[in-house]
Amino acid sequence: MLDLITIGDSTFDTFLILEQHKKTCELSTNKKKICFNYAEKTPIENTAQSVGGNAANVAVGVRKFGAQTAIVTELGDDINGHIIEEELIKAKVETTFVKKVKNEQTRYSVVLNYCGERTILSYYAKRNYSLPKLPTSKWIYYTSLGKSFEKLQTQLEKYLDKNKETKLALNPGSYQINKGINHIKKILPKVEILFVNKEEACKLVDKKETPKKLLSSLHTMGAKMVVITDNTNGSYAFDGKHKYFMPIYQVDMIAMTGAGDAYTSGFLSAILSGKHFAEAMTWGNANASSVIQKFGSQKGLLNKQQLHKILKENEKIQPQKL
* pLDDT of 141 over the 80 cut: yes
pLDDT for 116: 67
* Average per-residue pLDDT for the chain: 93
Give the helix ranges, DSSP H, for 79-194: 79-90, 149-162, 174-179, 181-187
pLDDT for 259: 92
Q: Identify the helix (H) or strand (E) that includes residue 54.
A: helix 54-64
Helices (H) and strands (E) in the chain, counts: 10, 16
Q: What pLDDT band is residue 96 in, cutting at 50, 70 and 90?
A: very high
- Closest among 288, 290, 292, 301 to 253, alpha carbons compared: 292
Q: What is the mean pLDDT of residues 189-217?
A: 96
Rg (CA), the chain: 19
User: Tens of pLDDT along 9-19?
Assistant: 999 999 888 88
Distance spanning both ends of the chain, measured CA to CA = 37
Q: Which residue ranges make up each domain of the chain?
A: 2-11+52-107+125-321
User: Tens of pLDDT along 241-280?
Assistant: 999 999 999 998 887 788 999 999 999 999 999 999 999 9
**Neighbour tally for 143: CB within 10 Å:** 23
pLDDT for 160: 97
User: Tens of pLDDT along 18-71?
Assistant: 887 767 777 776 767 888 888 888 888 888 888 999 999 999 999 999 999 999
CATH of domain 2-11+52-107+125-321: 3.40.1190.20
Measured distance CA(38)–CA(42) in Å, rounded: 10
Tell me, yes or no, if the pTM score tops 0.95.
Answer: no
281 near 289, Cβ under 8 Å?
no
